[in-house]
């Protein structure tokens, strides 16, 4: 039986952090050299999105860690430690973090992600009005823009379909205007329909 199947059986196909049973999938905790049942856990879509910093942290969602952090599964302990650190400005999370014990190996693994210094904020791509942008969205330019290295002038009101988020910079998106793919600053766009 493969690792993912063993992990599904262990968890009863429920999220090992919040016990949700819908939209669950195996999650391999990094860094790791080889996937196994200690470093693979089952997560729901809500936990996964917040762990991967694709959604803002919801403190109330994570209060269940006071129960699940005691799991015997090393991966659950490591992710619990990481999430409690991201929420450590909350009194309840700081208290749970003080109680959570990880052996030296698991603590080193937990710290390898660098989340212990994270303040819990999530940087998302947002338009000029603060609406969250996603890959594939359609946006409208709120300012006329001269495209560097080109004679192209993108006029205010131009519709840009099927944008792509620039992963390493939340202030930039890519879109095609007049057949040319350009980088556009998010502060100059408005999400269509928002």
Per-residue pLDDT of 39-60, as tens digits, reads 999 999 999 999 988 888 899 9
* Contacts (Cβ under 8 Å, ≥6 apart) of 165: 125, 133, 134, 135, 173, 174
pLDDT tens digit sequence for 91-123: 999 999 999 999 999 999 999 877 666 555 667
* CATH assignment at residue 172: 2.30.30.40
pLDDT of residue 105: 94
- Say yes or no: 167 and 84 in one domain: no
Beta pairing class for 159-160 and 139-141: antiparallel
Distance CA 178, CA 22 (A): 43
For residue 167, count other CB atoms closer than 10 A to its CB: 9
Single pTM value for the model: 0.67
pLDDT of residue 180: 86
Domain containing residue 52: 3-117
Backbone angles phi, psi at 153, to 5 degrees: -125, 115
- Say yes or no: 100 and 164 in one domain: no
- Say yes or no: 105 and 148 in one domain: no
| pLDDT surpassing 90 at residue 80 | yes
- Say yes or no: 43 and 9 in one domain: yes
- Say yes or no: 104 and 166 in one domain: no
């Amino acid at each position: 039986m493969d690792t993912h199947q063993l992990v599904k059986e262990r968890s009863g196909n429920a999220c090992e952090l919040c016990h949700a049973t819908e939209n669950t999938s195996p999650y391999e905790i990094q860094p790791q050299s080889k996937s196994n049942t200690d470093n693979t856990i089952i997560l729901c879509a809500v936990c996964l999105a917040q762990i991967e910093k694709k959604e803002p942290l919801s403190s109330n969602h994570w209060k269940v860690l006071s129960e699940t952090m005691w799991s015997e599964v090393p991966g659950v302990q490591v992710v619990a430690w990481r999430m409690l650190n991201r929420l450590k400005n909350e009194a309840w999370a700081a208290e749970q973090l003080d109680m959570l014990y990880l052996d030296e190996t698991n603590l080193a693994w937990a710290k390898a992600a660098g989340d212990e210094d994270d303040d819990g904020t999530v940087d998302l791509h947002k338009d000029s009005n603060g609406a969250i942008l996603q890959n594939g969205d359609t946006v409208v330019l709120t300012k006329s823009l001269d495209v560097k290295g080109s004679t192209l002038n993108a006029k205010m009101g131009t519709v840009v379909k099927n944008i792509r988020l620039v992963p390493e910079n939340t202030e930039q998106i890519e879109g095609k205007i007049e057949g040319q793919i350009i980088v556009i600053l998010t502060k100059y766009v408005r999400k269509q329909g928002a």
